[in-house]
């Protein structure tokens, strides 16, 4: 398949939850072979690119975003060979495939973390962020306030605290260690060599920590993303990096990189504030919620593209709306309290729009 530049600018992306899509062997779990068997249907739908959430080795305490082996496929989904088969069949139909790559952290079951906690002076001793106490980086917010009381967790094996921006079973990698950067660049190369068409880079704002900051969107993070982009451009041209940064566009625009050179970090980035306003516009029968946020959206490099989406595997997040707008969304789309999740709404797209085809097509 030709890897032409900028193919992503007009592409229709379709997120596929492999586990729930198609079961090829009757074990009750969707798998890669099952997905491959439905490619003709997806082609008929007009899908240009499949986006697969993590399918790597994982204890599955966070839906696969807790990775214990970056180079393996979850056994119930199949094998690396099955993934290669999916890629080949998709490419034969003109469909590209990207997958999630979690750069920020691993599972605490990952061999890197187990060796880091057991042998502080060994080759993986500095692969994670360790501290003798839990006082550092106090300006960083706790993301999962419902389950976590601190960004630090004490490890009795090593006798130190480790840093985690998400769940306590997901220790953050230490990107100040050049060996960590090299290891993660090698993970990129592994899947790009197999033929993947790109990555959605999960939770990119949190890669580095600096005292006196909120530990988000730091310059060092952009330095590393430029390294990722250089690997792609120099070794695998035509592949795409999509930034998942749940931030305001004025912050996210930095993830495209230097405008003067057409962008030297990520090719795409999600536009999070637009998504809830699309639903507001549908209910109000007014374009104003959409036009208002687009008017506040900064220009991006010529070779970049905003990722505009209706839904994904996360809840319909309402972080980036006013209190009044959030109350309106709850009143229209989440009348039952059970439909709420964190600061968002957890409902599938079809019932969210009352199974109304006209609203879907709008």
Active-site option among 31, 66, 100, 244: 244
Active-site option among 31, 172, 202, 265: 202
202 is catalytic: yes
Alpha carbons 164 and 105: distance in angstroms, whole number: 8
Contact 50, 78 (CB under 8 A): no
Distances (CA, A) of 92 to 8, 36, 39, 121, 285: 18, 11, 10, 49, 41
Q: Is 286 exposed, middle or buried (0-12, 13-18, 19+ CB in 10 A)?
A: exposed
244 is catalytic: yes
Contact residues for 245 (Cβ-Cβ < 8 A; gap 6+) = 204, 205, 217, 251, 252, 255, 269, 270
Annotated catalytic sites, by residue? Answer: 202, 244
């Amino acid at each position: 398949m030709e890897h032409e530049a900028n193919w992503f600018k007009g592409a229709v992306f379709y997120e596929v939850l492999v586990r729930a899509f198609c079961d090829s062997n009757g074990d009750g779990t969707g798998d890669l072979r099952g997905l491959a068997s439905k490619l003709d249907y997806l082609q008929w739908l007009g899908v240009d690119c499949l986006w697969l959430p993590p399918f790597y080795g994982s204890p599955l305490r966070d839906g696969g975003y807790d990775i214990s082996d970056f180079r393996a496929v979850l056994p119930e989904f199949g094998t690396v060979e099955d993934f290669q088969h999916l890629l080949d069949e998709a490419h034969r139909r003109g469909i590209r495939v990207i997958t999630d790559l979690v750069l920020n952290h691993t599972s605490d079951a990952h061999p890197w973390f187990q060796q880091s906690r057991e042998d502080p002076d060994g080759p993986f001793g500095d692969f994670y962020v360790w501290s003798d106490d839990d006082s550092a980086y106090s300006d960083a917010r706790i993301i999962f306030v419902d389950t976590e009381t601190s960004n630090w967790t004490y490890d009795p094996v090593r006798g130190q605290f480790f840093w985690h921006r998400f769940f306590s079973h997901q220790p953050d990698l230490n990107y100040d260690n050049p060996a960590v950067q090299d290891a993660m660049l090698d993970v990129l190369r592994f899947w790009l060599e197999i033929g993947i068409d790109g990555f959605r880079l999960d939770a990119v704002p949190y890669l580095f920590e600096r005292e006196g900051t909120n530990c988000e969107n730091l310059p060092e993070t952009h330095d590393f993303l430029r390294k990722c982009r250089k690997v792609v451009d120099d070794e695998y041209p035509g592949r795409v990096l999509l930034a998942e940064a749940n931030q305001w566009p004025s912050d996210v625009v930095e993830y495209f990189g230097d405008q003067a050179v057409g962008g030297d970090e990520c090719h795409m980035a999600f536009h999070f504030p637009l998504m809830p306003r699309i639903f507001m516009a549908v209910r109000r029968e007014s374009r104003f919620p959409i036009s208002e946020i687009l008017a506040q959206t900064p220009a991006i490099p010529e070779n970049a593209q905003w990722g505009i989406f209706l839904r994904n595997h996360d809840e319909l997040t309402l972080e980036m709306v006013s209190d009044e707008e959030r109350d309106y969304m709850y009143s229209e789309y989440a009348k039952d309290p059970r439909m709420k999740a964190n600061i968002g709404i957890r409902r599938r797209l079809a019932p969210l729009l009352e199974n109304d085809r006209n609203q879907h097509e709008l």
